[in-house]
Structure 1
């Protein structure tokens, strides 16, 4: 189930459930530099916009720490984090067991519009075809 965990982490990285979770710097900060061993490399990698679950199995991602916060962190971490990930994994596994094919059934080229509520949700639903 390692790949399933990687898939869920990547999904949450690309599409965070909490739409507005702001942070502010304690001192003047210049972006997009500050990454790498010497602090002069870009923070965002070249494939940051690509959905690639395999990244979560790489050594560089093992110590991501505060850079991945879909459930917040520290003393205010979501108490239901492990339950939510377990339930999401279970539902995804059951859907994949029950259906041979699950694919997008929306209008080709049409972007999904999001509605910002307590959590991010597709504003007009999400059309999928299951067979």
Structure 2
């Protein structure tokens, strides 16, 4: 697994990931591109707070790039703590600088698979692990 440079984007998978996240948040999916909606890390942190609040330090929405990158890092650390393998965790620049949105979608898919096993009460996303 690991880096996904050159791998084609899957718009349907990205859209499903957004629908999954926002259904768990209980909110409508905002208009916009996958990477733009997730870029500042706030949605990802709010999502993680909903499913495993014990794994997330206090985060705050911010217009400051350093805080936004920190929020993304909080999410990826929590995802890894939940069992997403290091090779499936995206790097902060993959999302923040929009370098590799495929790796972001892949990480969400892996997290979804873990949640299907650990939290069957939640909507499903990704292949079951």
Whether TM exceeds 0.5 here: the answer is no
Structure 2-normalised TM-score? 0.26
Structure 1-normalised TM-score? 0.26
| Higher normalized helix content (fraction of residues) | 2
| Higher normalized strand content (fraction of residues) | 1
